[in-house]
């Protein structure tokens, strides 16, 4: 006999928690099912922790819109809730004259996305801001920052619980079915059970497609295949050399190996991008060091490779392939025709930045 609940959210990453919070604040009874023994152990804790301005994404797309809206909401929320963050700025650098025109193209895309605070500065001006930085020109982004992703998730969980929501750990979703007006979700683990929900939101990250395919009655035509695109980091021992984040010019499928730092002053380089790693492979390949050094030393010529140590790795949940630009796929009943189901696929970067806007977007879809 299935137990009745109003809303099930599958997955307790930063997006699942933000969606669950928004739904609970809108008055719904929410349970979040997470297969691991803690929240946020997957992509949400394996990223750069950057609050993105919303510069690169295709104008009019969901990533562009929800990043810009989410960034504003995130700064306000982090300020109100005391979530540790820093508006540290970023420089996007052209390291040769040939690259300089691309900065103007980046600025034009940013403007189309409503990001109109980018300033084009000379290499000399950039070096005055960040001694030791080499570039011939740069775009300065004043609204880029960094945030403690774990503290953010803790705050989202606190709001969810204050609004009556529940997080159930060690609760893997193993299948389900569309059953009339409701959706039944089978939960495995030590205490298997079946929940019958009016609304199911699938926020399973890298596994969202597998979860959707395990729910009988959802139209497979609206379940995109997720491809993991692995990215790894090296950490830098010693004082962080730059206070702003430093990014090379981006490609369609990645922002390039960049320099970031955390609020404690630990600098890191990454992520790179690999399409051949199996799902769930978080190993760090030390043989990729030379490639990191070659790309980063274009803007940081005095980088000492001996100070780089293997860091960590994450996987981007993509619905596109190498060299292709993707978008978030947030598919509600109007898109796929199944009542009571909202699927979140390809929630790659800037999902951390956009999480609050994604939560509000899903809550609006749920209202119909």
Applying CB under 6 A, the span of 116-124, 285-293, 303-311, 313-321 interacting with ligand FAD comes to 313-321
User: Residue 328 Cβ, how far from ligand FAD at the closest point, in Å?
Assistant: 9
Q: Are 359 and 18 in contact (CB under 8 A)?
A: yes
Residue 24 within binding range of ligand FAD, rule CB under 6 A? no
Q: Which of 7, 48, 141, 196 binds ligand FAD (CB under 6 A)?
A: 48
**Residue 110 burial (CB count, 10 A):** 24
The answer to the question of residue 315 lying near ligand FAD (CB under 6 A) is yes
Nearer of residues 134 and 274 to ligand FAD, judged by Cβ: 274
Helix (H) or strand (E) holding 319: none
Q: Which is nearer to ligand FAD, 13 or 332 (CB)?
A: 13
Contact of 45 with 14, CB cutoff 8 Å: no
Residue with tokens 């730092």: 261
Residue 123 CB, nearest distance to ligand FAD (Å)? 25
What CA–CA distance (Å, rounded) separates 42 from 14? 10
Rounded-to-integer distance, Cα 156 and Cα 165, Å: 11
Residue 71 in the binding site for ligand FAD (CB under 6 A):
no
132 with 76: CB under 8 angstroms?
no
Is there binding between residue 42 and ligand FAD (CB under 6 A)? yes
Interface map 153-182 toward ligand FAD (x if CB under 6 A): -------------------xx---------
d(CA 121, CA 26): 45
CB 268 within 8 A of CB 232: no
Q: CB nearest ligand FAD: which residue?
A: 351
State in angstroms the smallest separation of the CB of 243 from ligand FAD.
Answer: 17
Which C-beta is closer to ligand FAD: that of 137 or that of 211? 211
Tell me how far apart the alpha carbons of residues 46 and 332 are, in angstroms, rounded to a whole number. 27
Helix (H) or strand (E) holding 228: strand 227-236
Which span (4-12, 111-119, 135-143, 246-254) binds ligand FAD, by CB under 6 A? 4-12
Quick one: which H or E segment has residue 181? none
Q: Does 349 bind ligand FAD (CB under 6 A)?
A: yes
Q: Among residues 118 and 347, whose Cβ is nearest to ligand FAD?
A: 347
- Closer CB to ligand FAD, residue 15 or residue 199? 15
| 53 Cβ contact partners less than 8 Å away, ≥ 6 residues apart | 67, 68, 71, 90, 110, 115, 117, 118, 141, 143, 144
Selected from 316, 318, 336, 361, the binder of ligand FAD by CB under 6 A is 316
* Dist. CA 300–CA 308, nearest whole Å: 13
Among residues 300 and 328, whose Cβ is nearest to ligand FAD? Answer: 328
Outline where the chain has alpha helix (H). Answer: 14-25, 62-81, 100-112, 123-129, 149-162, 208-213, 289-296, 333-336, 351-367
Q: According to CB under 6 A, which one of 54, 145, 165, 205 is a site residue for ligand FAD?
A: 205
User: Interface with ligand FAD by CB under 6 A: which range of 33-41, 54-62, 75-83, 235-243?
Assistant: 33-41
> Total residues contacting ligand FAD (rule CB under 6 A)?
42
Where along the sequence are the contacts to ligand FAD (CB under 6 A)? 10-16, 33-36, 40-44, 46-50, 52, 172-173, 203-207, 211, 231, 271, 314-316, 347-353
């Amino acid at each position: 006999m299935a137990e009745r609940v109003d809303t099930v959210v599958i997955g307790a990453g930063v997006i699942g928690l933000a969606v669950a919070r928004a739904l609970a604040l809108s008055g719904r009874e929410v349970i979040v099912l997470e297969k691991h023994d803690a929240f946020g152990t997957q992509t949400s804790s394996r990223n750069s922790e950057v609050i993105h301005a919303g510069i690169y994404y295709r104008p009019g797309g969901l990533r562009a819109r929800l990043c810009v809206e989410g960034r504003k909401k995130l700064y306000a929320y982090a300020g109100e809730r005391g979530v540790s963050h820093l508006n540290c700025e970023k420089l996007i650098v052209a390291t040769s004259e040939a690259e300089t025109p691309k900065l103007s193209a980046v600025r034009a895309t940013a403007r189309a996305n409503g990001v109109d605070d980018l300033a084009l500065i000379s290499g000399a001006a950039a070096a005055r801001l960040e001694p030791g930085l080499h570039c011939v020109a740069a775009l300065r982004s004043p609204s880029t920052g960094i945030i403690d992703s774990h503290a953010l998730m803790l705050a989202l969980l606190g709001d969810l619980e204050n609004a009556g929501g529940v997080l159930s750990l060690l609760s893997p979703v193993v299948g389900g079915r569309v059953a009339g007006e409701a959706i039944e979700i089978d939960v495995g683990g030590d205490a298997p059970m079946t929940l019958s929900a009016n609304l199911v939101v699938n926020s399973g990250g890298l596994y969202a497609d597998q979860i959707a395919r395990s729910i009988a009655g959802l139209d497979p035509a609206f379940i995109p295949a997720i491809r993991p695109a692995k990215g790894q980091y090296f950490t830098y021992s010693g004082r962080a050399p730059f206070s702003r984040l430093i990014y090379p010019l981006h490609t369609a499928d990645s922002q390039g190996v960049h320099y970031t730092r955390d609020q404690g002053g630990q600098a890191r380089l990454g992520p790179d991008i690999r399409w051949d790693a199996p799902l769930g492979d978080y190993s760090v390949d030390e043989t990729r060091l030379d490639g990191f050094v070659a790309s980063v030393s274009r803007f940081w010529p005095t980088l000492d490779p001996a100070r780089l140590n293997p860091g960590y790795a994450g996987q981007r949940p993509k619905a596109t392939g190498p060299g292709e630009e993707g978008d978030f796929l947030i598919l509600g009943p109007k898109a796929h025709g199944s009542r009571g189901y909202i699927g979140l696929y390809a929630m790659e970067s800037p999902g951390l930045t956009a999480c609050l806007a994604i939560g509000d977007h899903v809550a609006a879809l749920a209202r119909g």
